[in-house]
Amino acid sequence: MTKIIGLTGGIGSGKSTVASYIASKGIPVYIADEEAKKIMELPEVISEVQQLFDEDVLLENNQLNRTKIAEIVFKNPQKLQELNAVIHPKVKLHFINWLKQYEDFPFVVKEVAILFETGGDASCDKIILVTAPEEVRIQRVMQRDKTNSINVKNRIKNQLSDKEKKAKSDFVIENIDMNNTMKQVDKVLKILNENGL
């Protein structure tokens, strides 16, 4: 039975960089956020999501305006829950089908930004948490998303604190210096391989 290794971390922690590095080692990596974006482009999902909002959240091409949706849901936890209730079951089903292709692998990695918040940790055999100091994370996201620190802090507030996540994780990778991060990842992968996980 293929084991599932959860990979998570707060916004700007660098979990996507870690996921890419793990994938470069030939280990199958499932990026839940990317798959969620693709699912949100399906016509039936677009209409389901639009029904959650009082205002129009569609772009001119009838695709969802994800920037506008993000602004609404990050200020409104109830709406965020409703949106997650539409998207997460579809991502879960997609992952189950994806997993079938990799049954010969000892383990796969599932990268999920809000793994604990959605209860996804329950289906993981081990969990890797990527962390970085909050001020570093804020800087990274401001540069990446061309946004301000207030927006980033609001998004951080919607996620569990690193302290809470650390208590629930099997491995913690401090992602400040890239070379050091890769060494930490190699060490974790070695332990997983040696333990038949």
Sheet with 29-31, side-by-side order of all strands: 29-31, 107-111, 3-9, 126-131, 171-174
Averaged pLDDT for residues 33-42: 94
The mean pLDDT of 105-123, rounded to a whole number, is 93
* Contact yes or no for 111/173 (Cβ under 8 A): no
Annotated binding site: 12-17
- Average pLDDT of the residues in 77-97: 92
CB-CB contact of 3 with 109 (8 Å): no
Stretch 9-14: mean pLDDT: 93
Res 197 pLDDT > 80:
no
- Give me the mean pLDDT over the 34-51 stretch: 95
> What value does the mean pLDDT take over residues 155-170?
91
What pLDDT is attached to residue 117? 85
More confident: 150 or 22 = 22
pLDDT mean over 110-124: 92
Structural domains of the chain sorted by starting position, each given as residue range(s) with its CATH number in brackets: 3-191 (3.40.50.300)
Q: How confident is the model at residue 188 (pLDDT cuts 50, 70, 90)?
A: very high
117: CB partners within 8 A, 6+ apart? 159, 160
Task: Read off the pLDDT band of 71 (50, 70, 90).
Answer: confident
Binding-site residues for ATP, in ranges, read: 12-17
Q: CB neighbours (10 Å) of residue 93?
A: 11
**According to the model, what pLDDT value does residue 159 have?**
83
pTM over the 0.75 mark? yes
130-160 pLDDT, tens digit per residue, is 999 999 999 999 999 889 998 888 888 878 8
Mean pLDDT of 12-37: 96
